[in-house]
Structure 1
Amino acid sequence: LATEATNLYSMCDENTSALQNMLPGPSHTRLWSERATREIEASISQSSQRRRPETSITSIRETENGPSSLSETSYYDSDESVRSSRSGDDYTDEEDSNQADMYDLLELKGEGRYGKVLKCRNNETGEIVAVKAIKICEKTDYVIAREVFMLDKVSALDPDVDNVIRFNKYFKSADGHHCMEFELLDLSVEDLMKKRRAPFSLNEIRPMAKDLLISLKGLRNVGVIHTDLKPDNVMFVDQQNKPFKVKLIDFGVATLTERAKVGKIMQPLGYRAPEVTLGLRLTEAVDMWSLGCCLLEWYLSVLPFPAESPYDHMQMITHFMGVPDGELLKQAMYGNDYFVEEGSEWRLKEVSEYKDVILNCHQGNSELDIEDKRVFVDLLQKMFHVDPDKRITPAEALIMKCLNKETGE
């Protein structure tokens, strides 16, 4: 089993990027590159003042014609291009040139293709924060505007109750970067996994699972699908003082539930729900599938569905979970790409066979250990239901026995 798991893990396609699926073409980005920044600033100014009137964080500029609203239709018309909303025509960069001066750079936390994450001190508030700085260009204009729009939707939640990262503000620096200020968190779950080189125990997974279920319950309440739930996007708040307390981050490819398009490919392949691959109706249930993948990966140190292609992905799901219901396949936009009506060509493995992989990990001899594993498997089975309408919801999962056991370790 260990050899099989290692072989499966080696198949993981590390180059899969949900962001690439979300980026529009040049013709789309040109529609909004001229006014994108000033629309975001006016919108965030309005929402920042509404959310945190008690803080001293500087508001983002408003034009002489008043703040403009970044409406939902700005992002979700028929082809996801962006339409301009009302804003002033006398935009300048003078005030933003002073925004970057408000910060003392303390540390470079990370660097990617388009930008950096910086640990900074906000000299106006005294708070140690994270500043995400992205180079300004047509592609990043669109992506940043989309992320700020979704962060504004998520701001209806309480960051400390609903376990989502706190977004403070957006501004544009004088040296040509989109900048977003967030609360500073600790390391990601992915980073800790690499450091410890060992799986998590159920007692370690339990609080993380509860925190993320609360996050998904909150997102469901505000009509948002994260679409990119993976260990990289789950961060510890303060691992030393608040061990295994986590928050969900990165809403750059999130989408409104009501605007999720049938047939749109989203989510990293290894964490992708079957309804995405098949082209079925998309709901918040896709995030529950991704969370199930995370929990199992944290427990086994193996990605459960390490596919190299959508075909491999569907084959693995069918192998472990069985063929999806025939009625679902008839509705699936891409069903004929993977299945034929007379049956499946793959050898099927029952769920009970996959249970053995879990039950044989973290060997424990007591009846209590065995029962603990069984209720964990029960939760995973419900999270991995192929039919999204029958998949367990965050609220239902939060009351399950496996997440409400008093830990003794």
Structure 2
Amino acid sequence: MRDGPAPGASAPTQTDMDLDLAPSPPRVEDLIAARRAKRQAILAKYSNGTSSTSTPVASQSSQAPLPALLIAEQSITRANSVAMSVDGTPAPEKYSQGERRASMSNSPPPLSAQDTAGDIGADLDKLDAADNLAFELAKGDEQDGMQAPDQETISKLEGGHDQISAADYDPSRDRREDEHKRLLGEVPHKPKVEDVMEIEEIEDVEEEDVDDMFAVAMGEPSKKTKKVKKTVSKPAPVLITTTALLDTAADAEGYYSVILGEQIDGGRYQVVSSLGKGMFANVVRGLVLQSPPEAEGILGAEVGKEVAIKIVRSQESMYRAGLKEAQILQKIRQADPDDKKHLVRLERTFEHRGHLCLVFESMSMNLRDVVKRFGKDVGLNISAVRTYAHQLFLALSLLKKLNIMHADIKPDNILVNERKNLLKLCDLGSASDASENDITPYLVSRFYRAPEIILGVPYDPALDIWSVGCTLYELYTGKILFPGRSNNQMLLLMMELKGRFNTKMIKKAKFQDAYFDEMGGFESVERDKVTGADVIRKIHLAKPTRDLRARLMPPTSVKMNDNEAKLLTSFIDLLDKCLALDPSRRITPREALSHPFIRG
């Protein structure tokens, strides 16, 4: 059954009904314009009207305007000081001194200074108070009960396992290493027989092991024998292939050598600053100096605005990938002409000295920076997470409709606007059509990599749902959910949280032999604490050993009201459905948009 249109909305088309299950936040430009109009109306009201309590006195006509003006100025300044930006710093004043004087220059002398200041201050305070209800990121004192357990509590619950701070993690290094492996065509494999040393260990059997269908009875029922293979890991050779194109200003790896102040694309843009470097390109902030011919008359191409320019590395493979990304972004723009689905907008493309350049709308910061700034190690406000979740699933609903897989969703690839209340999913450099199902164990950044990718099971857009689940957990807790140092350890962490993989999924896995033995036991590669060498330990998991609810619910000593408890419980349920090991059982974007956590 389809959801109806929002109250007051016009009847949606068939396409809108598929996607617009809930309204998106209004554009920040519209909010600013509306706020400015309200403020001007308030100022005009008191500049053109006469207070009912004031009495004209000729002798005061030359002195009354000054105190009235000063007091009104103070009221406006006080009202403006209440309007704080999201990061807690004072927002810039909405009106300059000259604008305020101009707006009140027609005020009649006999106005009562006290009454006018009080009335105008009250009205402006109401306006600012309404604005400040907009968006909160940090967890406040009133939400202490909503915070997840601290690190010590989680470690006790989970046998000493520590979590990694989401704010301090830099995924670029891991991504580059995995991408090199991907380009080299490396696949997971077990150590050679001659490199393996087998060790037998005896340990007590816990009661829960008796019901393990994979457990093999050997000797006395109170003991079990475990074979451990020990091998020293050998680092894979790193191969960097750079095929630079002609007329390029690139470094040894093909990245464009950024020159601040440089004018590019025939003087249309000026490079203002460098925004960072990824696997496929580096990104700079540019200033529009002149509108390109094809953008004449388009509001988004006005001179003086900032844009983000992605400069693709000058390698043939990267150049082709950049063209593919541009084609996908154009397809998305055509399917979302009104910019409601929270996917970054590609404005145009051009070439500069052998580099393909993609011009995007400029945003404020990515979600990892948001967590670092507003929720380091504790996470963000549950209401903010709810808003971000809604917008992310709107983006995924469009991608699914277009049969596109993003294949690299993580906090770093999600941008927010200045007010931090609107996000855009960006960086579609790894995106592809769902029919392009090339089995590779290194697709998606490792901490956000779905199990089907690691196992070598044919994948579909459900892989993005897994990544969103990992991302939402990070946003709320400030910690990384699956901080595995390898694909092998990632699988172990997943099974500890969600239980063992079903036999059907393992049988479909191309790389099953790299992780499981013939009895279905998982071969965990762990680092010996004494020697530092890698040790292979066989593990049979009958049921999860970690609990998602225990990670997210506050300690029992903290009391939550019913609404808080319901909201957090529904959030845990949504994450649980996003993180189903079997992709066919994972929640879809449409189902997620109808989930109680999103719908309320």
Say yes or no: does 1:276 pair with 2:431.
no
The one of 155, 168, 174 aligned to 1:16 = 174
Letter in 1 for 2:386: R
The one of 312, 332, 348 aligned to 2:489 = 312
Deviations 1:115-157 (A, max 9, x none): 3322322511324322222342335323323322332333333
SS at match of 2:174: coil
Q: Distance in 1 between matches of 2:182 and 2:323?
A: 13
Deviations 1:307-335 (A, max 9, x none): 00011000000111000111111111112
Q: Aligned in 2, Cα 1:352/1:315: closer, same or farther, shift over 3 Å?
A: closer
Letter in 1 for 2:563: L
TM-score calculated relative to the size of structure 2:
0.52
Aligned residue runs from structure 1 range 159-178, under 5 A: 160-173=339-352, 175-178=353-356
Q: Distance in 2 between matches of 1:306 and 1:352?
A: 14
The one of 263, 273, 290 aligned to 1:123 = 290
**Could you say which residue in structure 2 is the equivalent of 1:216?**
396
Q: Distance in 2 between matches of 1:204 and 1:162?
A: 18
Asked if 2 retains the 8 angstrom alpha-carbon contact of 1:108 and 1:118, the reply is yes
Asked if 2 retains the 8 angstrom alpha-carbon contact of 1:29 and 1:142, the reply is no
Aligned residue runs from structure 1 range 379-394, under 5 A: 379-394=574-589
**Could you say which residue in structure 2 is the equivalent of 1:353?**
547
Say yes or no: does 1:249 pair with 2:426.
yes
Q: Aligned in 2, Cα 1:115/1:397: closer, same or farther, shift over 3 Å?
A: closer
**Could you say which residue in structure 1 is the equivalent of 2:257?**
none
The one of 115, 135, 141 aligned to 2:319 = 141
Q: Distance in 1 between matches of 2:266 and 2:359?
A: 11
Determine what percentage of the aligned residue pairs are the same residue: 25
Shift of residue 352, structure 1, vs aligned partner: 7.5
Q: Aligned in 2, Cα 1:138/1:24: closer, same or farther, shift over 3 Å?
A: farther
Q: How many residues align?
A: 338
Q: Aligned in 2, Cα 1:398/1:292: closer, same or farther, shift over 3 Å?
A: same
**Could you say which residue in structure 2 is the equivalent of 1:189?**
367
Deviations 1:371-408 (A, max 9, x none): 21111111111101111011000000000111122xxx
Q: Distance in 2 between matches of 1:19 and 1:100?
A: 34
Shift of residue 2, structure 1, vs aligned partner: 0.9
Asked if 2 retains the 8 angstrom alpha-carbon contact of 1:8 and 1:306, the reply is yes
Q: Distance in 2 between matches of 1:354 and 1:2?
A: 14
**Could you say which residue in structure 2 is the equivalent of 1:93?**
none
**Could you say which residue in structure 1 is the equivalent of 2:10?**
none
Q: Name which one, 1 or 2, has greater alpha-carbon Rg.
A: 2
**Could you say which residue in structure 2 is the equivalent of 1:58?**
none
Shift of residue 168, structure 1, vs aligned partner: 1.2
Asked if 2 retains the 8 angstrom alpha-carbon contact of 1:111 and 1:117, the reply is no
Q: Distance in 1 between matches of 2:242 and 2:403?
A: 25
Q: Aligned in 2, Cα 1:337/1:24: closer, same or farther, shift over 3 Å?
A: closer
Letter in 1 for 2:342: N
**Could you say which residue in structure 2 is the equivalent of 1:365?**
560
SS at match of 2:393: helix
Q: Distance in 1 between matches of 2:270 and 2:555?
A: 47
Letter in 1 for 2:270: D
Say yes or no: does 1:293 pair with 2:489.
no
Q: Distance in 1 between matches of 2:331 and 2:412?
A: 22
Deviations 1:24-51 (A, max 9, x none): 899x997x979xxxxxxxxxxxxxxxxx
Q: Aligned in 2, Cα 1:137/1:325: closer, same or farther, shift over 3 Å?
A: closer
Letter in 2 for 1:165: V
Asked if 1 retains the 8 angstrom alpha-carbon contact of 2:245 and 2:314, the reply is no
Asked if 2 retains the 8 angstrom alpha-carbon contact of 1:271 and 1:290, the reply is yes
**Could you say which residue in structure 2 is the equivalent of 1:94?**
none
Aligned residue runs from structure 1 range 80-99, under 5 A: 99=265
Q: Distance in 1 between matches of 2:286 and 2:360?
A: 10
Q: Distance in 2 between matches of 1:112 and 1:329?
A: 33
Q: Distance in 2 between matches of 1:101 and 1:288?
A: 42
Letter in 2 for 1:226: H
Where structure 1 has 5 or more consecutive residues not aligned to the other structure, the ranges are 35-96
Single out whichever of 211-220 and 264-273 deviates more from structure 2: 264-273
**Could you say which residue in structure 2 is the equivalent of 1:234?**
414
Tell me which stretches of 4 or more aligned residues in structure 1 moved more than 6 Å.
10-13
SS at match of 1:7: coil
Q: Distance in 1 between matches of 2:245 and 2:184?
A: 12
Q: Distance in 2 between matches of 1:346 and 1:336?
A: 15
Shift of residue 343, structure 1, vs aligned partner: 4.2
Shift of residue 282, structure 1, vs aligned partner: 0.6
Letter in 2 for 1:115: N
Where structure 2 has 5 or more consecutive residues not aligned to the other structure, the ranges are 1-149, 156-160, 186-238, 247-262, 292-300, 522-538
Q: Aligned in 2, Cα 1:350/1:139: closer, same or farther, shift over 3 Å?
A: same
SS at match of 2:417: strand
Q: Distance in 2 between matches of 1:352 and 1:111?
A: 36
Q: Distance in 1 between matches of 2:446 and 2:343?
A: 23
Letter in 1 for 2:569: R
Letter in 1 for 2:393: L
Deviations 1:240-297 (A, max 9, x none): 2xx4211100011111101112345311110010111111111000000000000001
SS at match of 1:155: helix
SS at match of 1:389: helix
Q: Distance in 1 between matches of 2:453 and 2:499?
A: 17
SS at match of 1:327: helix
Q: Aligned in 2, Cα 1:237/1:24: closer, same or farther, shift over 3 Å?
A: farther
Aligned residue runs from structure 1 range 34-53, under 5 A: none
Q: Aligned in 2, Cα 1:352/1:24: closer, same or farther, shift over 3 Å?
A: closer
Q: Distance in 2 between matches of 1:205 and 1:111?
A: 27
Q: Aligned in 2, Cα 1:281/1:117: closer, same or farther, shift over 3 Å?
A: same
**Could you say which residue in structure 2 is the equivalent of 1:108?**
274
Say yes or no: does 1:2 pair with 2:157.
no
Q: Distance in 2 between matches of 1:162 and 1:10?
A: 30
Q: Aligned in 2, Cα 1:264/1:142: closer, same or farther, shift over 3 Å?
A: farther
Asked if 2 retains the 8 angstrom alpha-carbon contact of 1:225 and 1:255, the reply is yes
Letter in 2 for 1:187: M
Q: Distance in 2 between matches of 1:193 and 1:215?
A: 21
TM-score calculated relative to the size of structure 1:
0.74
Q: What root-mean-square deviation, in Å, do the aligned CA atoms of Structure 1 and Structure 2 show?
A: 3.1
Aligned residue runs from structure 1 range 321-332, under 5 A: 321-332=498-509
Q: Aligned in 2, Cα 1:134/1:332: closer, same or farther, shift over 3 Å?
A: closer
